[in-house]
Amino acid sequence: MSDQMTSLTKNQEMVLGALSHAKAPMSAYAILDELRSEGFRAPPQVYRALEKLVAGGLVHRLESLNAFVACSHEDCHTSGLIAFAICEQCGLVSEFSDQAVSTRLTHWIADHKFTNTKTTIEIRGDCGTCSVAG
Partner DNA sequence: GCCGATATGTTATAGTATAACATACTATCT
Partner DNA sequence: AGATAGTATGTTATACTATAACATATCGGC
- Is residue 27 within the footprint of DNA (CB under 7 A)? yes
Q: Which of 113, 56, 116, 68 has its CA nearest to residue 95?
A: 68
Near DNA in 74-133, by CB under 7 A: none
Q: What are phi and psi of 132, to 5 degrees?
A: -65, -45
DSSP string, 67-94: EEEE---TTTTTSS--EEEEETTT--EE
Rank residues 28 and 127 by Cβ distance to DNA and give the closer one.
28
- Is residue 37 within the footprint of a copy of itself (CB under 8 A)? no
- Is residue 43 within the footprint of DNA (CB under 7 A)? yes
Q: DSSP code of 38?
A: G
Rank residues 76 and 130 by Cβ distance to a copy of itself and give the closer one.
130
> How many alpha carbons lie under 13 Å from residue 101 in its C-beta half-sphere?
13
Where on the chain is the footprint of a copy of itself (CB under 8 A)?
63-64, 83, 85, 87-88, 94, 96, 98, 100-101, 104-105, 108-109, 112-128, 131-132
Where on the chain is the footprint of DNA (CB under 7 A)?
1, 9-12, 27-30, 39-45, 47-49, 52, 66-67
